[in-house]
């Protein structure tokens, strides 16, 4: 049963076609929508990729800009550091005594002190040296740091060196082999100077150059180091001593005379004798090795101190004449290390003889050993404090004499206080009995010298070169790295002889009651 109207056959066909067309339209619309969605998706992906590329490019640009800004900031900091350094150098130059006005012309260091390589201006040339391992060759053909010379001569040559000012240097030798009548046999075992357990690090500040090798030449001044002739280096702190400035004020002078007179009176009242040894600075012994522009004064703080000691009634042992005579007596020998502020054991022996000759006049039972009683061998030394300051500690090498008593009648270390290593003393050899140059306090006893007096020695680092000889001249000898005059300590050590050993450059510290540093 049908409730609708029946359509004709042709109308039914038309209606079906209309439905089909509508379906096709819907399908096409759906496909078009799908295509549109796909296009939007692809466009979105492409946009994100481009955006990512743009972002990365912008970030890269920002990083490069940041690096450039950082570089500019670092450059600004370096320039500021250089300006501050220049201001400090200007201040130092302004505070230098008038007598040393020519020092500035000797050379100035342009750069910071904490690292990197800085250019230095100065006088004559040491030649072109090789790299930092000590393997480069000098102008004379010698190995850098081992007998090299910046004066056109090898350190082992006997050819005289004439400076630009016309000064002919005394010698150009290096302490590496025995000379003259020295006994350099190996019959008696001897101790080296360099530690066999602790070694310098190539990355520490003492091995980071403060200037170029080609700038290590006469007249250069860097890190308080003055480069002189024949490879000699000098400590800038000694210039005031050298040129005759920095004298003790009358107040300090009078106060010290009073103090020393009281100490001397105490010593005499207790049956003891007081001796004061002054070790000359390196440039006081080798003034001709100083670069042009420095002139040694005829009257210096050293002279003032000798007069002061005489006023206090203390026996002053002035070693300037002794060292001058030694330079002439053994011209083939260095008395001071080339790259260090200290003297070596050659100078130590001459100082010992001059000191003991004075003491023997008061104590006939002291034992004095002649130089011929020693076997003298040459070893590489750790003493290179000036090379240490310049950042060439391992590169520059030097040698020094080791004196060993051939008879074997030597003292025994009976007491010592260990000392934490510092500076170049970190690399000092430690003897089997515990002795090392870095010890602050120690005692020796020589049982072969039972009738000899006892000694108490207050000292700085210059005493190190005298200890090998002093210990075998007394029965008991005590060595204390201090300037403090401790009456109780002296009595406890039962000392008959009281000795003070002070480097010329430390006289002002002694006068002002400062703690001895080296």
11, pLDDT greater than 90: no
Q: Is pLDDT of 48 > 90? A: no
pLDDT at 174: 64
Does pTM surpass 0.75? no
Inter-CA distances, 51 with 37, 64, 65, 289, Å: 21, 20, 20, 72
14-31 per-position pLDDT tens digit: 444 444 445 555 555 565
Range of weakest confidence among 256-270, 325-339, 404-418: 325-339
CA distance 341 to 285: 12
**With helix as H, strand as E and coil as C, how does 387-435 read?**
HHHHCCCCCCCCEEEEEEECCCCCCEEEEEECCCCCHHHHHECCCCCCC
Q: Which residue has the higher pLDDT, 380 or 158?
A: 380
Residue-level pLDDT at 41: 53
Confidence of residue 63 (pLDDT cuts 50, 70, 90): very low
pLDDT digits (tens, 9 = 90+) for 94-142: 333 333 333 333 333 333 333 333 333 333 333 333 333 333 333 333 3
For the residues of 35-66, what is the DSSP string, one character each? HHHHHHHHHHHHHHHHHHHHHHHHHHHHHHHH
Q: Tell me the β-bridge partners of 226.
A: 221, 234
Give the pLDDT mean for 487-510. 97
pLDDT grade for 332, boundaries at 50, 70 and 90: confident
pLDDT at 447 over 80: yes
Ranking 150-154, 373-377, 476-480 by mean pLDDT, the lowest is 150-154
Question: Cα 339–345–347 angle (5° rounding)?
Answer: 85
Radius of gyration of the chain (CA): 39
Rounded alpha-carbon distances, angstroms, from residue 129 to 142, 150, 201, 231, 337: 10, 10, 22, 13, 20
Instruction: Quickly state the pLDDT bin for 13 (edges 50, 70, 90).
Output: very low
């Amino acid at each position: 049963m049908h409730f609708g109207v029946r359509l004709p056959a042709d109308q039914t066909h038309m209606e079906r076609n209309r439905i089909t067309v509508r379906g096709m339209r819907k399908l096409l619309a759906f496909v078009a929508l799908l295509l549109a969605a796909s296009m939007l998706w692809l466009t979105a992906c492409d946009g994100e990729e481009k955006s990512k590329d743009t972002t990365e490019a912008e970030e890269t640009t920002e990083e490069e800009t940041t690096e450039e800004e950082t570089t500019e900031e670092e450059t600004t900091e370096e320039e500021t550091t250089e300006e501050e350094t220049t201001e400090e150098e200007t201040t130092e130059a302004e505070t230098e005594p008038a007598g040393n006005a020519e020092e500035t012309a000797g050379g100035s260091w342009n750069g910071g002190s904490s690292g990197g390589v800085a250019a230095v201006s100065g006088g004559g040339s040491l030649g072109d040296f090789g790299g930092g391992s000590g393997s480069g060759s000098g102008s004379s053909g010698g190995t850098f740091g081992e007998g090299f010379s910046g004066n056109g001569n090898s350190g082992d040559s006997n050819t005289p060196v004439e400076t630009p000012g016309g000064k002919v240097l005394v010698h150009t030798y290096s302490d590496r082999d025995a000379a003259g009548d020295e006994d350099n046999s190996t019959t008696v075992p001897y101790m080296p100077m360099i530690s066999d357990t602790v070694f310098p690090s190539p990355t520490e500040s003492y091995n980071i150059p403060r200037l170029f090798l080609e700038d290590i030449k006469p007249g250069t001044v860097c890190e308080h180091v003055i480069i002189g002739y024949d490879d000699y280096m000098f400590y800038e702190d000694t210039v005031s001593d050298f040129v005759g400035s920095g004298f003790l004020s009358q107040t300090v002078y009078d106060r010290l005379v009073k103090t020393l007179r009281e100490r001397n009176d105490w010593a005499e009242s207790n049956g003891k004798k007081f001796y004061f040894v002054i070790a000359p600075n390196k440039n006081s012994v080798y003034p001709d090795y100083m670069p042009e522009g420095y002139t040694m004064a005829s009257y210096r703080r050293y002279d003032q101190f000798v007069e002061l000691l005489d006023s206090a009634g203390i026996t002053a042992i002035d070693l300037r004449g002794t060292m001058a005579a030694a330079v002439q007596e053994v011209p083939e020998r260095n008395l001071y290390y080339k790259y260090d502020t200290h003297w070596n054991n050659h100078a130590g022996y001459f100082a010992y003889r001059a000191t003991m000759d004075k003491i023997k006049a008061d104590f006939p039972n002291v034992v004095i050993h002649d130089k011929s009683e020693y076997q003298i061998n040459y070893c590489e030394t750790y003493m290179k404090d000036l090379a240490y300051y310049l950042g060439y500690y391992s590169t520059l090498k030097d040698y020094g004499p080791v004196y060993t008593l051939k008879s074997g009648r030597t003292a025994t270390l009976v007491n010592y206080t260990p000392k934490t290593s510092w500076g170049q003393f970190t690399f000092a050899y430690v003897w089997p009995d515990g002795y090392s140059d870095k010890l602050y306090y120690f005692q020796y006893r020589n049982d072969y010298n039972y009738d000899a007096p006892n000694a108490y020695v207050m000292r700085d680092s210059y005493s190190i070169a005298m200890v090998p000889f002093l210990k075998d001249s007394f029965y008991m000898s005590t060595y204390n790295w201090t300037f403090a005059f401790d009456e109780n300590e002296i009595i406890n050590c039962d000392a008959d002889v009281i000795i003070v050993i002070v480097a010329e450059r430390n006289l002002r510290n002694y006068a002002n009651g400062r703690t001895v540093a080296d």
